[in-house]
Amino acid sequence: MDFELSEEQVVLREAVRDFLARRWDAAHMRRALDDPPALIPAELWKEMGSLGWIGIATAEDVGGSGSDVLTASVLAEESGRGLLPATLSSVIAAATAIDRGGDALRTSVLPALCAGDHRVVCAIEEPGGTWGPDAVTLEASAGADGWVLSGTKILVPDTEGADLCLVAARTPAALGFVTVPTDAPGVTVTPMRRLDAQSIAEVTFDGVVVPATALVGGPERAEKTLRATYDIWTVLGAADLLGVAETALEMTTAYAKERTQFGRPIGSFQAVSHRLADLLVDVEISRSLLYAACLALDEDQADASALVSAAKAFASDTAVRATEAAVHLHGGIGFTWDLDVHLYLRRARAGAASLGDPDFHRDRVARALGRDRTDQDERR
């Protein structure tokens, strides 16, 4: 029984925090708001590859670090804290898809991906007003030379420099990821603009031909691989939001100790201190749910998806509450362009509505609880 990070994970967290403090300035994100998207420079990406961070949750035989989702969440949380574009999370998730279901792709793609020489993205969401694998309608239909993909993906992150796209599709064999080279004929990438300047794009597929072997995991494991990847990506999104929330709380707490009005630090007024105390509670509950969800994924527990949804729903609400409070409690200065606070608010708002918003995840929890109930009724 030990429900805290290991010493190695704490050391990693400090290393990442220190690295980002030296190598990445939040001001990049502010500048990118006028000139999107914000991108991680190639040499920085490469360096993170050599540190073993890109392949953190990928097996060692293909160049990864062979660690787990919990350890990957440390990277995601620090990315949120440091306002580094969340590319580590999206690529870590894509790498796990190939690692778990990729067969031949494992050895052809993963070593270069883990080293930072090669980028893969996941395209899952569609313009249907909701999120996730269940909402996928993009079809790969049987054609003369294989499967033919037609349809539109939106909110696809980090397409810049990506040479391979994992496209969630309904194929003749199964629902799953189909690998499509980004330069394949019929693929069009159109940049979208995100509230926090992170990279997103619309990707359209117009009669794109792929072989049936492009289904990641094959007919047997394709759907499981897609769902597992979405869960991993989602929990990393929760970790990112936790990093955002905790940083916003720390910034605001520091300001409340310094800023004096009516002859007292404003943090001595309970209208201020109690709001911060409530946020601390929310941050601690978020962290507890994040650990629970990561552990459940790493141990492949039956209730893992419900815990992932729990972590994402709670972290999303917490990050929005914490960053809105940060803007408010900084007063006039909190509403200025030059203070970093709005950058955290933007990331919280965008992150909360990505990979499923809180209501989406509450509905997922409700369905999981409903299934439990049906099981119990049947046993009776």
Partner 1 sequence: MDLHFSPEDEEFRARLHAWLEEHAGRLEDAAGVMKGAGAANIMDAIQMARDWQRTLWEAGYVGLSWPEKYGGQDASLTEQVIVTEELAAVSTPPLINTIGLTILGPTLIRHGTEQQRERFLPKILTAEELWCQGFSEPEAGSDLAALTTRAEIDGDDFVVNGQKVWTSLAPIADWCFLLVRSDPDAPKREGISYLLCDMKTPGLTVTPLRNAAGGIHFSEMFFRDVRIPRANLVGDLHGGWQIARTTLEHERSGLSSVLALEQNLARLRRTASNIALGDGRAIDDQAISRELAQLWIEVEGLRHLGYRTLSDQIAGRPPGATASVGKLFAAQLRQRITHLALKIEGPLAPVTKKSPHVVERGRWNAAYFDALGHSIGGGTSEIQRNTIAERVLGLPRSVQD
List the structure tokens of 325. 């409070």
Question: Least Å distance between CB 288 and partner 1?
Answer: 4
Q: What x-and-dash track marks residues 37-76 binding partner 1 by CB under 8 A?
A: ---------------------------------x------
Q: What x-and-dash track marks residues 331-360 binding partner 1 by CB under 8 A?
A: ----------------------------x-
DSSP state of 260: E
Phi, psi for residue 171 in degrees, rounded to 5: -100, 170
Residue 2: CB atoms within 10 A of its CB come to: 5
3-class secondary structure, 169: strand
Phi, psi for residue 266 in degrees, rounded to 5: -65, -20
Q: Interface with partner 1 includes 289 (CB under 8 A)?
A: yes
Using an 8 Å Cβ cutoff, are 69 and 56 in contact? no
- Closer residue to partner 1 (CB): 73 or 90: 73
Q: Binding residues for partner 1, how many (CB under 8 A)?
A: 45
* Strand 162-170 relative to strand 119-123, pairing: parallel
Nearest CA among 213, 229, 92 for reference residue 158: 92
Question: Least Å distance between CB 125 and partner 1?
Answer: 21
Using an 8 Å Cβ cutoff, are 162 and 182 in contact? yes
- Closer residue to partner 1 (CB): 57 or 166: 57
- Closer residue to partner 1 (CB): 187 or 276: 276
Q: Interface with partner 1 includes 314 (CB under 8 A)?
A: yes
Q: Interface with partner 1 includes 10 (CB under 8 A)?
A: no
Using an 8 Å Cβ cutoff, are 364 and 305 in contact? yes
Specify the amino acid at residue 373. R
Q: Interface with partner 1 includes 300 (CB under 8 A)?
A: no
Q: Interface with partner 1 includes 291 (CB under 8 A)?
A: yes
Binding part of the chain for partner 1, among 114-122, 123-131, 217-225, 365-373 by CB under 8 A, reads: 365-373
- Closer residue to partner 1 (CB): 91 or 315: 315
- Closer residue to partner 1 (CB): 117 or 359: 359
Q: What x-and-dash track marks residues 232-271 binding partner 1 by CB under 8 A?
A: ---------------------x--xx------xx-xxxx-
For residue 85, CA distances in Å to 66, 77, 136, 198 come to: 23, 12, 26, 6
DSSP state of 270: H
Question: Least Å distance between CB 243 and partner 1?
Answer: 18
- Closer residue to partner 1 (CB): 68 or 324: 68
Phi-psi region of 355 (alpha: psi -120 to 50; beta: other; left: phi over 0): left
Q: Tell me how many degrees the CA angle 310-92-300 measures, rounded to the nearest 5.
A: 50
Pick the binder of partner 1 from 3, 22, 262, 332 (CB under 8 A). Answer: 3
Question: Least Å distance between CB 12 and partner 1?
Answer: 13
Specify the amino acid at residue 202. E
3-class secondary structure, 142: strand
Residues that bind partner 1 (CB under 8 A): 1-6, 70, 253, 256-257, 264-265, 267-270, 273-274, 276-278, 280-281, 284-289, 291-292, 295, 307, 309-310, 313-314, 359, 362-363, 365-366, 369-370, 373
